[in-house]
Amino acid sequence: MTTTFPLTGYGVKLSLLSEDKVEQVRLWRNHPEVANNMLDKSVISKSQQQRWFNSLNNQRQLYLVISYKEEDIGVIYALVDDGDDEKKAQPLNKANVIAPGLYIAPECQYRNSVLAFCPSLLFIDYLFQMQSCSYLKAKVFSYNTAAIRYNEALGYNKKDVDEDNLLTMTLSRENYQRAKNKLTKVLRF
């Protein structure tokens, strides 16, 4: 099934990352409040960012800019998780496991607001409805309690913590549906 972007719902819009927004996204990503929660905390240069953007393969990864009331407020993305088998190289729409992620712009007034759930609800709906994955997988630092609580509210279950102090969390369709039913009692769009 072909998807037409942007996705809209829950009051937010998710648009494919475009060249004119690459620099803004780089500035968000380099901000310590965002970078500190990334596995790779290094500062990304303009040229690195441009190379990354040019190499984006929308079959295997999807980067969307989140906007609310015409204001860009963050980024949400999904990558194929091939596990240890790099040879699989499945596209997103055939992957068994997808690893989504999100960050809200560091200076954004909605950063710690309930609004932060809206892009995830829209995106996870999309991933489960349009893709064939059986579950989603997130990796967060075990000290990042806000992200862990956020993921749990979306229905993720905690799994193992690895040697890098990264906690794996997984989300099944069933658990997501239960969590979504609770969240949408408050987020009544």
Question: Minimum Å distance from CB 61 to another protein?
Answer: 24
Span from 56-64, 125-133, 144-152, 155-163 in contact with another protein (CB under 8 A): 144-152
Does position 31 bind another protein by CB under 8 A?
Answer: no
Interface with another protein, residue 28, by CB under 8 A: no
Residue type, 82: D
3-state secondary structure the chain: CCCCCCEEECCEEEEECCHHHHHHHHHHHHCHHHHCCCCCCCCCCHHHHHHHHHHCCCCCEEEEEEEECCEEEEEEEEEECCCCCCCCCCCHHHCCEEEEEEEECCCCCCCCCHHHHHHHHHHHHHHHHHCCCCEEEEEEECCCHHHHHHHHHCCCEEEEECCCCEEEEEEEHHHHHHHHHHHHHHCCC
Among 1-9, 77-85, 93-101, 149-157, the segment contacting another protein (CB under 8 A): 149-157
Q: What is the rounded distance in angstroms from the CA atom of residue 161 to the CA atom of residue 144?
A: 12
Residue 39 within binding range of another protein, rule CB under 8 A: no
Tell which one of 110, 126, 128, 156 touches another protein (CB under 8 A): 110
Can you tell me which of 50, 150, 172, 175 binds another protein, judged by CB under 8 A?
A: 150
How far, in whole angstroms, is CA 30 from its chain's centroid?
17
Q: Does 189 bind another protein (CB under 8 A)?
A: yes
Among 149, 157, 162, 174, binds another protein (CB under 8 A): 149
Residue with Cβ nearer another protein (5 or 189): 189
Among 9, 11, 101, 106, which residue interacts with another protein (rule: CB under 8 A)? 11
Per-residue x/- track, 111-140, another protein (CB under 8 A): xxxxxxx-----------------------
Find, among 9, 187, 44, 28, the residue nearest to 106 by Cα: 28
Shorter beta-carbon distance to another protein: residue 92 or 100: 100
**Positions in the binding site for another protein (CB under 8 A):** 11, 109-117, 146, 149-150, 152-153, 183, 185-189
